[in-house]
Each structure stands twice: as C-alpha cells, then as structure tokens.
Amino acid sequence: MTDILIYVQHLLGIGHVRRIALINAELKNLGIKTTVVTGGIPDAALDFGSDNVIQLPPCRTADSGFSGLVDAAGNPVNEAWRQARKQALLDAFKSAAPKLLMIEMFPFGRRAFRFELLPLLERAGQAGIPRICSVRDLLVRKSDPSKEVWMRDIARSHFDHVLVHGDPMLFGFGRSFPFASDIADMIEYTGYVAPKAEFVGGERQGVLVSAGGGAVGAALIEAAITARPLSSRFADQPWDIVTGPHFPTNTFHRLAQNLPTGVTLHRFLPDFRARMAHACVSVSQAGYNTLMDVLATGTASVMVPFADGGESEQSERAAILAGKKVLSLLDPDDLSPQSLANQIDRAKNPVKLDISLDGAGITAAKLAERIRGKA
C-alpha cells in the first residue's frame, strides 16, 4: 500500500523525471510513501526519487517532431500494445491502493496516452481518491483550439486540483492556456520546482555545456566543441560538455575521438549542479529544470531553446527570462560556433527574481495535507 501513486511519462527529455524526483524527496521528508508508475524507456541514470517504481511497457516519441509513439525496439505501437499497457497501469493502481493519485502533465500534455489515463482517472474517481494534475508553468501552444477545449473539459470532469509549478508573480497559467479562467477554482500555484541552493561558494572557472537528456541537442554540442578557441574570454579555460544519457552513442564516440585541447566530453555528470555553481557560464537548451539550476546557482547562462515540432514552451520561457536579464538568448536558427562564442563572452550573472523556487516543498506539503484530510 502506498500513500501517493504518481504517473509520469517521459518521451524525449528527462525534465519531467527530475521535477518528480525533487518532489518525491520532499514527500519522503514528510514520511509520505510514493509509488511512481513510468512508461518511458528505462535508463539506469534516471532516478525518480521513489523507493517503489513500476515500469509499464516502455515507449518513446518516434522523432523530435512527436509524430507518433514507438516501443523500446523502435516499432510503432498498436492497439494490442495499448490494451496491454492500459491493463498494466490499472493493475499497478490496484496493487498500490493509493490514498491519492497524481498525474504529471495530462490533460495539458500527453494526450496520446488518454487510452490508459482516462480509465485510470475514472477508476480513481469511483474509489473516491483525490486526483491531482501536476503541470509546469507553460504549455506548448496549440494550433487547434478544440484541443484546448478538450483539456479544459477533461480537467473539470476528471481532476480535483491542478498544481501549477510556476509563480504568478512572473506569469500565470493563462499565459499559455486560454481557458485557465474556466478552471481557476482548481488551480494552485506551487512556485518553481528548483534544487535547494546548497552550493559551496568559490572561484568560478570555465564553461559548462549541457543538452538535457540528449535525445536532441546534437547541433548545440557540436557548435560548443568548436566554439572554445573562438571565445575571447574563455579560450584558455576548461570547457565541460555534457551530452545527456540519451545522446546518440555513435555521435558521442565520433566527437570524443576528435576533441580539441581543453574540452572534456561527458555523457552524464552526477554532480552537475555543483559544477554549474562553479562555472563562469552555463550553456544549454532552455528546459524548465536547467533554468531552475541557473536560478538556484546564480550562474551566467546562454540558452539555445529546443523548438522542433512546434515546441514553443522553451522559446517562450527563455524569451521572458531574457527580457528580465536572467539569461542570454540565442535563436537556434542563428546557432554557429562563432555566434555561440560571442554570446558566451557577453553572458552576465542573472538578475535575481522575486519568485518562489520552493515548488517541491510546497507541492509535497499540499499533497500531504490532502492525504491527512486537512485541505
């Protein structure tokens, strides 16, 4: 038996996993037991921060444009696969017997998984179990308004509360979701889910480049490798480049064999945040979690947002924060070794924002209150 069953499905990046891990750490501090049900491709480097993780038949997106789902072998999923996964999810719910169900992103994302999530939510509703949506501050813009109407209607009919991991002092959920006012009574802001700033100060040195999970970002990695000698400030300092666990293996080996002096290529760094805290400049895509690392460590940063397949979220958030002088923004269409070197040379320490970065702790407290009947 578990207190909270958490569903999280990563398809391309690993930002969803990191947010859930930080929330789980805070829940554990409160004595709350969690079970995480995940449907992404298993990876030893992924840590959900839970003692109990249930793996569903795994899948990922077929490409960076999110054109469809494929299984672990790269084959398109079919109806038999969907039925098997739905049953596995319902079995996990029955086995865990949770006091609360929390689903990450859905219905504001992960629409392709409604075949299993709607039955799960209906089962939880029939059992009288609170149903919580955990969602980031910004959504990907939709060209079809009917999808946003569907999101609103499913939120109202299948959920009790929506926890938005953002701060309305920066912007509200309505910035990217036009029907936010229709579910205003369900929305609670938690602040941003960021790591606690437990970093030892000291002299900063060099440049840290990262590409999140690494499923996308090869262009940024290759440009950064070539950019070091073009920098007027950091050409003689060490550059650490982190590809991420999902970076293509053949590309990693090709790059590792031809590295220039002063550049070190890593697939993964367990002390990534500590490294960032001691770097002069951080270079990355503009994912939610990397931005939180920048805010927590106060590191100067250059962001090159991921914008394939109509993905608007990273570009929009990065533009907002660039306007507030938190980061330097480089349009991915303008990415080259020279343009990247120029941006790195111009990067300045971020302006401190008056926003909450304790989203993990606040989320855990809100969930604990609901379990204990105090909400």
Residue-range domain boundaries for the chain: 4-192+357-371, 207-346
Both tokens of 343, joined, read 């941006």
Domain 4-192+357-371 and domain 207-346, same fold? Reply is yes
pLDDT (tens place) for every residue of the chain, 375 residues total? 799 999 999 887 777 888 999 999 999 999 999 999 999 988 777 789 998 999 999 998 877 666 789 998 999 999 999 999 999 999 999 999 999 999 999 999 999 999 999 999 999 999 999 999 999 999 988 888 999 999 999 999 999 999 999 999 999 999 999 999 999 999 999 999 998 866 666 789 999 999 877 667 889 999 999 999 999 999 999 999 999 877 888 989 999 998 999 999 998 888 888 899 999 999 999 888 889 999 989 999 999 998 776 678 888 999 999 999 999 999 999 999 999 999 999 999 999 999 999 999 999 999 999 998 755
CATH 3.40.50.2000 holds for 4-192+357-371:
yes
pLDDT at 227: 96
Residues in the chain, overall count: 375
* Terminal Cα-to-Cα distance of the chain (whole angstroms): 22
CATH class assigned to 207-346: alpha beta
**Angstrom distance (rounded) from CA 229 to CA 226:** 7
Q: How do beta strands 131-136 and 161-165 pair?
A: parallel
Peptide bond preceding 107 in cis form (omega within 30 of 0): yes
Question: Is pTM beyond 0.85 here?
Answer: yes
Angle between the N-to-C axes of helices 114-126 and 145-158, in degrees from 0 to 180, rounded to the nearest 10:
20
pLDDT of residue 239: 98
46-63 burial, b for 16+ CB within 10 Å, e for fewer? bbbbbeebbebebbbbbe
Characterize the bridge pairing of strands 59-61 and 69-71: antiparallel
